[in-house]
């Protein structure tokens, strides 16, 4: 089995509940330059305060455009695959084991990639030295919220991530419903803010879904479909 990964560290800033990302290209001199229009990635905000009294949104952990020190964000994807996925087509037990192993390897690949980003590629924590136990406790700086996590529940964000980094480079395609193929694939963002942490969006009402759909520039019913598990039906 092989695990493949792709990551880009891109200029970014927050604009209320949106994270705005700028695509870049590498010129012959080795410098990166911005191109195209900035891409807005709408995020959802908690509607009920957490234990610390905050209604969090991932954009809270990205500096605004007006900040003196500019910010960046990591955009990534990992995938685990086997050369012949039909090898256990007639063996349900081993097929299930293969799928489970693939899922774990894709997640492990994302974790390993995150470490390399922190220490080398982005390099905001170059002297990090953690034990395996500390890694398990996420004692490192920053987070890597993946699509489908409680703080990033809308899987259609995959369409935006694909536009930014190109899933095809690691052999991943998207279905019309934004599901990744192979199934053992992970995508998401890497945020370096020292106080960044995971949280759950929880329930959202139709007013917030309508606002989100407007910012995503998609029909209300489409946004509602992707957020159905979070929709408050009371």
Q: Is residue 59 part of a domain?
A: no
Q: Is residue 49 part of a domain?
A: no
Mean pLDDT of the chain: 93
Q: Is residue 220 part of a domain?
A: yes
Question: Contact 185/106 with Cβ under 8 angstroms?
Answer: yes
- Give the burial class of 111: count Cβ atoms within 10 A of its Cβ; 0-12 exposed, 13-18 middle, 19 or more buried: middle
Residue 126 pLDDT: 96
Give the number of C-alpha atoms closer than 13 A to the C-alpha of residue 63, restricted to the C-beta side: 14
Supply the CATH number for residue 127's domain: 3.10.196.10
Query: pLDDT exceeding 90 applies to what percent of the chain?
Result: 78
Q: Is residue 60 part of a domain?
A: no
Question: Contact 152/206 with Cβ under 8 angstroms?
Answer: no
Average pLDDT over every residue of 164-175 = 96
Banded pLDDT at 157 (limits 50, 70, 90): very high
Average pLDDT over every residue of 129-151 = 95
User: Token pair of 32, please?
Assistant: 């990166």
Banded pLDDT at 162 (limits 50, 70, 90): very high
Best CA proximity match to 161, nearest among 174, 149, 143: 174
Residue 139 pLDDT > 70, yes or no? yes
Residue 187 pLDDT > 80, yes or no? yes
* φ, ψ (nearest 5 deg) of residue 196: -65, 140
Best CA proximity match to 13, nearest among 68, 69, 76, 72: 72
Q: Is residue 47 part of a domain?
A: no
Angstrom distance (rounded) from CA 113 to CA 138? 14
Q: Is residue 174 part of a domain?
A: yes
Q: Is 54 helix (H, G, I), strand (E, B) or coil?
A: coil
Q: Is residue 56 part of a domain?
A: no
Q: pTM for the complete prediction?
A: 0.92
Q: For the chain, first and last CA: distance in Å?
A: 46
Total domains, the chain: 1
Residue 102 pLDDT: 92
Structural domain of 212: 2-12+65-227
What angle (nearest 5°) sits at the alpha carbon of residue 202, between those of residues 201 and 207? Answer: 85
Q: Is residue 99 part of a domain?
A: yes
């Amino acid at each position: 089995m092989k695990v493949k990964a792709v990551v880009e560290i891109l200029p970014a800033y927050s604009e209320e509940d949106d994270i705005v990302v700028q695509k870049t290209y590498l010129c012959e001199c080795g410098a990166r330059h911005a191109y195209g229009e900035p891409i807005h990635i709408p995020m959802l905000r908690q509607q009920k305060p957490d234990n610390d009294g905050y209604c969090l949104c991932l954009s809270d952990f990205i500096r605004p455009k007006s900040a003196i020190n500019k910010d960046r964000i990591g955009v990534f994807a990992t995938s685990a695959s086997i050369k012949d996925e039909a090898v256990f087509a007639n063996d349900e037990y081993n097929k299930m084991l293969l799928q489970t192993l693939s899922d774990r390897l894709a997640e492990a690949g994302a974790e390993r990639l995150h470490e390399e980003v922190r220490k080398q590629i982005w390099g905001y924590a170059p002297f990090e030295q953690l034990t395996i136990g500390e890694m398990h406790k996420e004692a490192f700086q920053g987070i890597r919220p993946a699509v489908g996590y409680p703080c990033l529940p809308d899987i259609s964000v995959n369409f935006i991530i694909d536009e930014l980094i190109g899933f095809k480079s690691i052999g991943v395609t998207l279905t019309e419903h934004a599901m990744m193929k192979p199934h053992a694939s992970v995508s998401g963002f890497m945020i370096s803010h020292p106080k960044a942490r995971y949280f759950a969006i929880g329930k959202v009402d139709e007013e917030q879904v309508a606002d989100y759909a407007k910012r995503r520039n998609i029909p209300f019913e489409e946004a509602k479909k992707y957020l159905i598990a979070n929709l408050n039906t009371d």
